[in-house]
Structure 1
Amino acid sequence: MVETSELLCPESKGKFEKISLSRRTVTRRVELIDEDIVRELNKKVESFKLYSLALDESNDIKDTAQLLIFIRGINDSFEITEELLSMESLKGKTRGEDLYEQVSAVIERMKLPWSKLANVTTDGSPNLTGKNVGLLKRIQDKVKEENPDQDVIFLHCIIHQESLCKSVLQLNHVVDPVVKLVNFIRARGLNHRQFITFLEETDADHQDLLYHSRVRWLSLGKVCQRVWELKEEIRSFLEQMGKSDEFPELSDTDWLCDFAFAVDILSHMNELNVKLQGKDQFVHDMYTNVRAFKSKLILFSRQMANKSFAHFPTLAMQKEATRNVKKYCTSLDDMHREFCRRFSDFEKIDKSLQLVSCPLSQDPETAPHELQLELIDLQSDSVSQEKFKSLKLNDFYASLNEATFPNLRRTAQKMLALFGSTYVCEQAFSVMNINKARHRSRLTDQHLRSILRIATTKLTPDFDALAKKGDQQHCSH
């Protein structure tokens, strides 16, 4: 219609652009786009050599449990497709068997062979990971039933585990007063307005404090950083209000020292967290960042034992820091052990990840027997070495001759198809919370699924065909 108006009456094009479509028209078009994306995804699925699933479950505004299932598949040309496979609504219980029934139904509906399932990544909740009746146990049994030689790699979301590791730092005595302080200022309207005015009058570096949200991975570190940077203004503001006695921690040098340590270590963890976020990440890249962080923790502990605070600039400003060195070294050592414990599932596949990511530097003798001869051939081929330097990793493996490197290609397909995190699910839940909100709570599960698919897809619908199809329907308003 807009294109027609541009030809017939270009001066009125703006008016046509402002015409809002009816609810039924918008709904119909969302349904058509969703159907087209599903058709395109079905075509992609048929070519998958292997695929992985990322699963996460959360309640919407109506307390309906929504199970998100994302698929990451790889074809013979090493083209990787990462899409929302389905959103399944659970009206009753969310036990392992209930989740398995939903996942199984989706896999059967999409005609995905269980034998090609390489990996399942979850957030680690008991109903998903239970050893006897959880979803993963049932999936493993189903895969073994179809292909006894197939081992499914089960992973706990790498970002979720990294976030959980900070619990060993035992920072509650720091975090609780900080959260209490933020709530005192921000949760009370008058206090908040007066504090903002105070910051403007004192020409502070920031204009406000941040709220802490437990469901946001970077929240705690950012909140602590902001409070630390405004601590002098906060202290003056509380004295002005006669409330300084309610927060004695701000005058406690030992507490401030612990606070400074928390600011620095949480800053390091946030840097790691940012590196782990994002779509289409390969697991070997994600786990490389985790391994690097474990080495950094060892370095931090050794340096701090020698009373060096090179990588803890906030703590270095505290005169009392040297008195608490032993305590901080213990915290860093505890965190290192926690990282090793929590990432044991990634450690099991680390050799395979390194082999696929750096095949030219691997010792063939330490590789699995079926890969040894192929690795020698690869490392002796100067053309392949040049390709490895110039091509993306999946394109490099796609360029390898299938007859010469069958096992190496197969191993690469499995490692490149893995989901390292449930980040895609978390992003989709954010879209869900925006679209199915308090004033839009009657949105049906079917339409919510369509919205999530359209919002997260990388596939391009055939809009020309959809436009023609819409014209043919002539639906009345």
Structure 2
Amino acid sequence: MAKHRRSFSKEWELTYFCVEDDDSARCLVCSEKLICKKYNIERHHKSRHANLTTLEGPMRAEKLAELLEERQAVIESASQSIREDRLTPEAAVRTSFKIAHKIAMRGKPFTDGEFVKECMTEAAEILCPTMVPKFASVALSPATIQRRIVELADDVSQQLHAKGKTVVAFSVAVDESTDDTSVAQVAVFVRGVEENLEEFEELLAMVSLDGQTTGEITADAIESALENAGFPLDRMFSLATDGAPSMTGRFAGVVARLRLKVKAAGAATDLIGVHCIIHREALCSKVVRLKSVMDVVTKTINFIRVKGQGLNRREFQTLMKDMEMEHTDLPFYTEVRWLSCGKTLKRFFEMRDEIALFMEMKQFPVDELKDPVWVRNLAFLTDITGHLNDLNVQLQGRGKLIVDLLDLVKAFLLKLDLWKMQLQEHDYSHFNCLKSMSYSDIDDNDMFIHSLQDLISAFNHWFSDAEPLDSLLQIFVAPFAVKPTEVAADLQMEIIDLQCDRQLKERFRLSKDLPSFYKLLPRLRFPKLHLIAARVMCMFGSTFVCEQFYSLMNITKSKYRSAISNENLQASLRLMCAQKIVPNIDRIVSRKRCQVSGGTSSSSSN
């Protein structure tokens, strides 16, 4: 027998302030659900809302309208909440890309996506249980993370290619190193300057070479990477390398081969080869490493840190703590990472008395620590190595102008001359370790003076090739000071016009740096000066970006992730090394047909 359906009478809305709700009625005042029978509705109204029974005529109609408006607002609010609680496919995919980007930027394995998802859902279950389905719908499987990272890197690469077609001038920095699986990885970075003199410095390519890495192979790989990215060879101005023979060989080196290719492409000037300034400074520093000092320091530190399977080190640390020393350990020194030499020597000098005591306790006395002449040499080596370390740190960093790096080197040479003169007069103002010793221990400075002279000669030798650049750099640095007769004929008129323009002279004086001034310089009026600025600004002064790249590569492709493919490695490193170019996630997502994941992270967008 069919169930009888009770009908709702429209007049009950005004009489009892209720509305139809499916097969039932609902009170507009208290929202209670009622049986759709007049008796039940009337009893509810009179017993629960007796105060409203006295309303009549227009007042009752006005009250009904008010209650209906409130109900509609509640319904719309509930609908909005439901819509907000439902994660759209686009939002899920966008979240997936954001997390993949973070994983790549930290050099983490692709499997970390699943771990992140577990953490998100666990947190949601405690903080906002109703949101758990949202987090569960984000696709973060290893395969999905891998695809996301490749897509993000491709987007960065496409943006770089677009810039390559419009550069005024660009330069390249290149270096080579092997990864954890002994594959030679050539890092190629590009620094370009656009028409508005805005700079960008990005990873152009990581070229994996399984066989020989000759100058010809490397040069061809760089040329191919530039062509694929749309960088015109005739606008390539300089190439920075570490100075290895395969890079700088006169005929077969990478620089020589690319110089021919650039010339064949129709470049107006010869390609300039730049030997990394940081590397040259490291070569100079080798002339002052006193072997008699370093051998003793290295041998002593190795005894404390290595021998005895760590027992000596633990005992040394305990002794230092008992003596309430500021430092309780000694850092390692490695020849490859020569910056550690300065820190090692400084710590060794500061703790020399305590080290001597410990070595005597272990019955391995270091006689040199009791020799005033040897300790004096240690003090000098500590001081001068500290100065070299300070210079090295100043030379490091991305985006630095080559003129600024060369100025730092020039200033250091002048300091060496000053220190040499001061040591001749027994003035130790800039040698704190030597100054801390008694005067009787440092009565002979001849060896120190000779060491400084050797250092001066080394700097003059390794930086002699900077002189051909001086005229170009001088125009860039001091365009109002150069003489028109000392510049090329096609530049003379612009120099005169510039030097006679009072407003531009004032702008130059007020500019915070040189690039800021040249960005304000009218390009159509001063095209030659504009081009000179672009060429100088695009030059790499060092291969620091490549060294930084290899540090990141060793983190990303460690012994625990040695199976990562070259494609995935390059994609991760491209994102890690990106500076001004960032992936456009919104654009990537807008091009995709999205779907949300299920309860696990096994599904993703197409």
- TM-score, normalization by structure 2: 0.74
The alignment status of 1:132 with 2:251, answered yes or no, reads yes
Residue deviations 1:216-250 (CA, integer Å, cap 9, x gap):
35211111111111112211111222221xx2221
- 1:77 aligned partner: 196
1:348 Cα offset (Å): 1.9
Cα distance change, pair 251–199 in 1 and its aligned pair in 2 (3 A)? same
Distance, in Å, in 2 between the alignment partners of 1:99 and 1:162 is: 25
1:366 Cα offset (Å): 3.1
The alignment status of 1:288 with 2:407, answered yes or no, reads yes
Give the 3-state SS of the residue equivalent to 1:73 in structure 2: strand
Deviates more, 1:364-373 or 1:186-195: 364-373
Match of 2:377 among 253, 258, 261: 258
Distance, in Å, in 2 between the alignment partners of 1:366 and 1:253 is: 56
Cα distance change, pair 171–316 in 1 and its aligned pair in 2 (3 A)? same
For the aligned residue pairs, the C-alpha RMSD in angstroms reads 2.4
- 1:43 aligned partner: 162
Q: How does 1:6-21 map to 2 (within 5 A)?
A: 11-12=128-129, 21=140
Q: How does 1:416-435 map to 2 (within 5 A)?
A: 416-435=537-556
How many percent of aligned residue pairs carry the same amino acid?
A: 35
- 1:169 aligned partner: 288
- 1:444 aligned partner: 565
The alignment status of 1:408 with 2:529, answered yes or no, reads yes
The alignment status of 1:218 with 2:218, answered yes or no, reads no
Distance, in Å, in 1 between the alignment partners of 2:339 and 2:156 is: 33
The alignment status of 1:460 with 2:582, answered yes or no, reads yes
The alignment status of 1:122 with 2:241, answered yes or no, reads yes
1:253 Cα offset (Å): 1.4
Q: Which amino acid is 2:345 matched to?
A: C
The alignment status of 1:357 with 2:477, answered yes or no, reads yes
Residue deviations 1:90-128 (CA, integer Å, cap 9, x gap):
101111112112112112211222111100000011111
Aligned length: 474
Match of 1:159 among 278, 281, 290: 278
Distance, in Å, in 1 between the alignment partners of 2:275 and 2:464 is: 10
1:342 Cα offset (Å): 0.5
Cα distance change, pair 27–303 in 1 and its aligned pair in 2 (3 A)? same
1:474 Cα offset (Å): 7.1
Distance, in Å, in 2 between the alignment partners of 1:74 and 1:333 is: 40
| Rg larger for | 2
Q: Which amino acid is 2:152 matched to?
A: I
Cα distance change, pair 409–468 in 1 and its aligned pair in 2 (3 A)? closer
Residue deviations 1:340-399 (CA, integer Å, cap 9, x gap):
110122222123213212222333333333333322322222211222223542232122
Deviates more, 1:133-142 or 1:20-29: 20-29
Give the 3-state SS of the residue equivalent to 2:594 in structure 1: helix
Does the 8 Å contact 2:233/2:267 carry over to 1?
Answer: no
- 2:22 aligned partner: none
**Unaligned segments of structure 1, at least 5 residues:** none
Distance, in Å, in 2 between the alignment partners of 1:241 and 1:297 is: 41
Q: Which amino acid is 2:487 matched to?
A: A
Distance, in Å, in 2 between the alignment partners of 1:178 and 1:75 is: 51
Cα distance change, pair 279–321 in 1 and its aligned pair in 2 (3 A)? farther
Residue deviations 1:52-75 (CA, integer Å, cap 9, x gap):
000000011111110000000001
The alignment status of 1:104 with 2:226, answered yes or no, reads no
- 1:347 aligned partner: 467
Give the 3-state SS of the residue equivalent to 1:413 in structure 2: helix
- TM-score, normalization by structure 1: 0.94
Q: How does 1:20-39 map to 2 (within 5 A)?
A: 21-39=140-158
Distance, in Å, in 2 between the alignment partners of 1:172 and 1:266 is: 14
Does the 8 Å contact 1:315/1:321 carry over to 2?
Answer: no
Q: How does 1:53-68 map to 2 (within 5 A)?
A: 53-68=172-187
- 1:241 aligned partner: 362
Deviates more, 1:31-40 or 1:203-212: 203-212
Cα distance change, pair 398–305 in 1 and its aligned pair in 2 (3 A)? same
Distance, in Å, in 2 between the alignment partners of 1:297 and 1:14 is: 66
Does the 8 Å contact 2:376/2:442 carry over to 1?
Answer: no
Cα distance change, pair 264–231 in 1 and its aligned pair in 2 (3 A)? same
Deviates more, 1:93-102 or 1:76-85: 93-102
1:33 Cα offset (Å): 0.6
